[in-house]
Amino acid sequence: MPCLVTVGGFFGDEGKGKIIAYLAKKDNPTIAVRGGVGPNAGHTFTFNGKEHKVRMLPSAILNPSTRLLIGAGVLVNPKVLLSEISQFNTEDRTYVDSQCGIIEQQHIDRDKSEDHLKGKVGTTGTGTGPANSDRAFRTLKMAKEIPELSLYIEDVSNSVNYALDARENVLVEGTQGTYLSLFHGGYPFVTSKDVTASAICSDVGIGPKKVDEVLAVFKAYVTRVGGGPLQNELDEQEAKKRGWLEFGSVTGRQRRAAPFDMELAKKAVRINSASQLAVTKLDVVFPETAGMRDYGKLPDMARKFIEEIEGETGVRVTLIGTGPELDDVIDRR
């Protein structure tokens, strides 16, 4: 499949990083290109027992033959990006669109000082909201104006479209989740832009006819950080008892937890035109599935859970995460 767009189906934290990292290793894409907001989204995955975290680079970092691109719609914190380039030794294959907006220290300061953002909405304090506000006012600096990024500047839209025209594999990575979308989420408890599949395509500069598949990623339960409604939310004690007590990879804040929400899943499938689904952390809800890689060996309750998702949404679950390791995946494609 030349162009696969991956998007979060709930409130972020669905395990997209693991899925992207797995697909990058399995499908060997020429390009992995990131859309979404900016460094307020952290993606985490584990390979050979070592945990990796990225906030700016695409999660395809472990495939040395994949070019790592950041689309024009993404906000870039140069310090975070340059640190990750150095950490993962991707100097020769990382490129940033010249029109990426730049997060400066003043945006971070404003984000942390605004009672409405930090207090009421519960933002990550990474400066993305104020930076996107400045972009709307046409006062935001662009990546092409930052000397430290000069070696990494590229027309990302041209590169991605050229690769697609050549029928090369392109992996498009979204961030956050459908219900953190500025337009489709529970406003005002949302991020500062749209993060659905359509917006991710716009971020990287590809038209809808270039997309072959849309993969919506769900977790086997629901979590979210910050404010906003969460249907059937569990108290901390119950979440801990179930093993659902998690902490955000960017802020370290405790995530709120709730059982899988089928109605949210169905709506996310419609909004994103999802043609495939991934369900991660099945092993957390059904511990006996840990490390399984064969769908036929799943216990009845776990298989019934997957089949219910497929029946309700009308879309096949093609990837199932059964553990933290990159290859702890049931691949049904």
d(CA 322, CA 256): 21
Q: Write down the pLDDT at residue 61.
A: 95
How many domains are contained in the chain? 1
What CATH number does the domain containing 232 carry? 3.40.440.10
Q: Which domain holds residue 296?
A: 3-331
Is 52 a catalytic site residue? no
Can 43 be counted among the known catalytic residues?
Answer: yes
At residue 116, the pLDDT reads 52
Sheet with 317-321: list strands edge to edge.
153-154, 94-97, 67-70, 31-34, 170-173, 3-8, 213-219, 276-280, 317-321, 329-331
- Which pLDDT score, from 0 to 100, does residue 145 have? 98
CA R_g for the chain: 19
- Find out whether the peptide bond into 188 is cis, omega within 30 degrees of 0: yes
Residue in 43, 52, 107, 184 annotated catalytic: 43
Tokens (6 digits) for 15 = 């395990």
pTM over 0.85: yes
Q: Extract the residue ranges of the chain whose pLDDT is less than 70.
A: 1, 114-122, 248-252
Q: To 10 degrees, the CA torsion angle through 89, 93, 99, 102?
A: 0
Predicted pLDDT at 24: 96
What digits encode the pLDDT tens for the residues 297-307? 999 999 999 99
Options 13, 111, 134, 261, the catalytic residue: 13
